[in-house]
């Protein structure tokens, strides 16, 4: 069990032991609640990723590293974040809170995959520029055979290339709760 450590360590270690889908969904819910709180305060995190989520003794997730967090009204258009988690519109400098929804979709892929390994679509990228080009062209992580259909649909909706088509977190949260309600205690495995 993880004690106040980075979620990426927990996901990798626990994946070997069969982290239950319900546990992964709870982590996802905690992250969504944290992002929703930031957004309710007029803030955009801009760097949602595994390394910026910590777990407490009860495996409850907490968002950390607010260094790129800015009031939505004051965002300068600067390009910040971690390339694979960056929404395509970040490269234009014109973006809003939906960049956090996009990044959550990528984080959710990692949670469901149980791995911190780069998705195949990005493994062969030799530079950040090449990765950014692929993201702008619509490359996204691949669907793994272990993914629940509803989880996959939610990921795809969150990382939609059109920010106006991404779901609001007020829609994502009950979707996760619904999936969690009928997930049982099945482990996800690769």
Cα(152)–Cα(80) distance, integer angstroms: 26
Contact 24, 112 (CB under 8 A): yes
Beta strands in the chain (DSSP E): 5-6, 43-44, 53-55, 61-63, 70-71
Axis crossing angle, helix 169-181 with helix 98-113, rounded to the nearest 10: 20
Q: Report the alpha-carbon distance of residue 19 to residue 189 in Å, rounded.
A: 8
Contact 32, 176 (CB under 8 A): yes
Question: Cα–Cα distance between 184 and 93 in angstroms, integer?
Answer: 42
CA distances from 162 to 4, 20, 95 (A): 35, 32, 11
CA atoms of 129 and 67, how far apart (whole Å): 23
Task: Pick the catalytic residue from 47, 100, 129, 190.
Answer: 47
Give catalytic status of residue 47 as yes or no: yes
The catalytic site residues sit at 47
């Amino acid at each position: 069990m993880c004690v106040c450590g980075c979620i990426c360590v927990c996901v990798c270690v626990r994946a070997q032991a069969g982290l239950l889908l319900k546990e992964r969904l709870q982590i996802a819910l905690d992250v969504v609640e944290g992002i929703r709180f930031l957004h309710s305060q007029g803030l955009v995190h801009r760097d949602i990723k595994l390394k910026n989520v910590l777990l407490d003794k009860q495996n409850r997730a907490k968002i950390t590293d607010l260094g790129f967090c800015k009031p939505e009204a004051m965002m300068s258009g600067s390009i910040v974040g971690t390339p694979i988690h960056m929404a395509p519109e970040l490269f234009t400098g014109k973006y809003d809170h939906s960049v956090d929804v996009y990044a959550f979709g990528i984080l959710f892929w990692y949670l469901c995959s149980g791995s911190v390994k780069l998705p195949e679509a990005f493994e062969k990228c030799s530079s950040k520029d090449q990765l950014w080009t692929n993201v702008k062209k619509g490359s996204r992580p691949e669907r793994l055979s272990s993914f629940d259909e509803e989880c996959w649909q939610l990921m795809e909706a969150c990382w939609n290339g059109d920010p106006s088509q991404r779901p609001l977190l007020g829609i994502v949260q009950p979707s996760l709760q619904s999936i969690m309600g009928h997930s049982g205690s099945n482990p996800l495995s690769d």
